Amino acid sequence: MAVPDGALANGLRVVKKGTSASLNVPMNRAVVVESDEPFAELSIANPSIADISSLSDRTIYVLGKSPGLTTLTLLDASGRLITNVDVRVAADVTEFKERLRQILPGEKIEVRTANDGIVLSGTASSSARLQRALDLAERYAPDRVSNLMSVGGVQQVMLKVRFAEMQRSVSKSLSSSLGINGGSSFGVNGGTNTLNNQTGLTNSLSGNIPVANSNTGAVLFGFNAGSVQVGLLLEALEQKGVVRTLAEPNLSALSGQEAKFLAGGEYPVPVAQQDGLITVEFKPFGIELNFIPRVVDEDIVNLELKAAVSAIDPTNSLELNGLSINAFSRRETSTTVEMRDGESFAIAGLIKDEFLDNSSQLPWLGDVPVLGALFRSADYQRAQTELVIIVSAHLVTPTRGEALTLPTDRIKPPSEADLFLFGRTARSSSGPASEVAKQDFNGSYGYVMD
In this prediction, residue 447 carries a pLDDT of: 42
In this prediction, residue 29 carries a pLDDT of: 86
Residue-level pLDDT, tens digit, the chain, 450 residues:
444 555 555 667 766 655 567 888 888 888 999 888 888 889 999 999 999 998 888 899 999 888 888 899 988 888 888 888 889 888 778 888 888 888 888 888 888 887 778 889 888 877 778 888 899 888 888 888 888 888 776 678 888 888 888 888 888 887 777 777 766 555 566 666 666 655 555 555 555 555 555 555 666 667 777 677 777 777 777 788 887 777 888 888 988 889 998 888 888 888 878 877 888 889 888 888 899 998 887 778 889 999 888 888 888 888 877 778 888 888 888 999 998 888 888 888 878 888 888 887 777 767 777 767 767 778 888 888 888 888 899 888 877 766 677 767 666 788 888 888 888 777 765 555 455 445 554 544 444 444
Domains of the chain from N-terminus onward: 21-90 (2.60.40.1380), 93-151 (3.30.1340.30), 167-239 (no CATH), 400-439 (no CATH)
* 188-197 contact pairs (CB < 8 A, 24+): 188/228, 191/231, 192/362, 192/375, 193/233, 193/377, 194/233, 194/235, 195/231, 195/233
pTM of the prediction? 0.56
32 with 52: CB under 8 angstroms?
A: no
d(CA 102, CA 369) in angstroms, rounded, equals: 87
* Amino acid letter, 420: F
In this prediction, residue 441 carries a pLDDT of: 47
In this prediction, residue 62 carries a pLDDT of: 92
Which residue spans within 248-371 are E strands per DSSP?
250-254, 259-272, 278-297, 300-320, 323-340, 344-361
d(CA 119, CA 206) in angstroms, rounded, equals: 102
185 with 199: CB under 8 angstroms?
A: no
Query: Could you read off the pLDDT of 69-126 as tens digits, one per residue?
Result: 889 998 888 888 888 888 988 877 888 888 888 888 888 888 888 777 888 988 887 7
In this prediction, residue 155 carries a pLDDT of: 78
d(CA 437, CA 403) in angstroms, rounded, equals: 10
d(CA 304, CA 339) in angstroms, rounded, equals: 12
